[in-house]
């Protein structure tokens, strides 16, 4: 099963593609979709949608997983994150694939074993679970962790 993991953000959306074959996981690709903060919001959301569509066409995943929104102390930031997340959910759903949603705590617990793990611990575990992986950045690492979480949870 090919799984696309997504860590949505308006400025940077991380993505990671893995293959889950039983208990074996292998890395396909990872990266980041970046938008320019000087662009209008609608243009940024369109860019995110277009690049996500390209990823979906290129990798043809069987399933996708998206990290849930965390509530930020800045309502405007939370709203923008929610809008980016909506574009990501819609884009993945448009293809007809199963889309899972996971909290950051669930992702950390699935990958590291504890829900309060820090980013360094998650990235260290990714290198163990996906030998030879070269991470395209923190957001891409988070997206791979979301994909791994989906691989673990889809069996249940």
Q: How much is the pLDDT for 120?
A: 87
Annotated binding site for Mg(2+): 7, 67, 139
Q: Is 98 annotated in the active site?
A: no
118 is annotated as an active-site residue:
no
The active-site residue, picked from 54, 118, 139, 142, is 139
Q: Which two tokens stand for residue 62?
A: 């069987």
- Detail the residues annotated as belonging to a binding site: 7, 67, 139
Active-site option among 36, 62, 67, 120: 67
Are residues 25 and 18 in contact, defined by beta-carbon separation less than 8 angstroms? yes
Q: Spot the catalytic one: 7, 21, 62, 68.
A: 7
- The answer to whether the pTM exceeds 0.85 is yes
| CB-CB neighbours of 23 under 10 Å | 8
What distance lies between CA 28 and its chain's CA centroid?
A: 14
The pLDDT, as a whole number, for residue 76 is 83
Distances in whole angstroms, Cα of residue 55 to Cα of each of 5, 7, 15, 28, 149: 11, 14, 9, 12, 20
Predicted pLDDT at 43:
96
Contact 80, 71 (CB under 8 A): no
Q: Which stretches of the chain drop beneath a pLDDT of 50? A: none
Which domains can be identified in the chain, with CATH numbers? 2-153 (3.30.420.10)
- Tokens 């504890």 belong to residue: 114
Q: Would you call 58 a catalytic residue per the annotation? A: no
Give pLDDT, residue 155: 59
């Amino acid at each position: 099963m090919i799984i696309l993991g997504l860590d949505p953000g308006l400025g940077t959306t991380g993505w990671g593609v893995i293959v889950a074959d039983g208990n074996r996981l292998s890395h396909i690709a990872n990266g980041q979709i970046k938008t320019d903060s000087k662009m209008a919001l609608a243009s940024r959301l369109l860019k995110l949608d277009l690049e996500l569509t390209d990823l979906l066409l290129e990798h043809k995943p069987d399933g996708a997983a998206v990290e849930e929104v965390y509530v930020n102390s800045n309502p405007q930031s939370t709203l923008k994150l929610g809008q980016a997340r909506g574009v990501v959910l819609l884009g993945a759903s448009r293809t007809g694939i199963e889309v899972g949603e996971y909290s950051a705590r669930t992702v950390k617990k699935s990958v590291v074993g504890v829900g309060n793990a820090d980013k360094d611990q998650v990235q260290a575990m990714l290198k163990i679970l996906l030998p030879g992986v070269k991470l395209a950045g923190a957001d891409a690492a988070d997206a791979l962790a979301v994909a791994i979480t989906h691989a673990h949870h889809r069996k249940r």
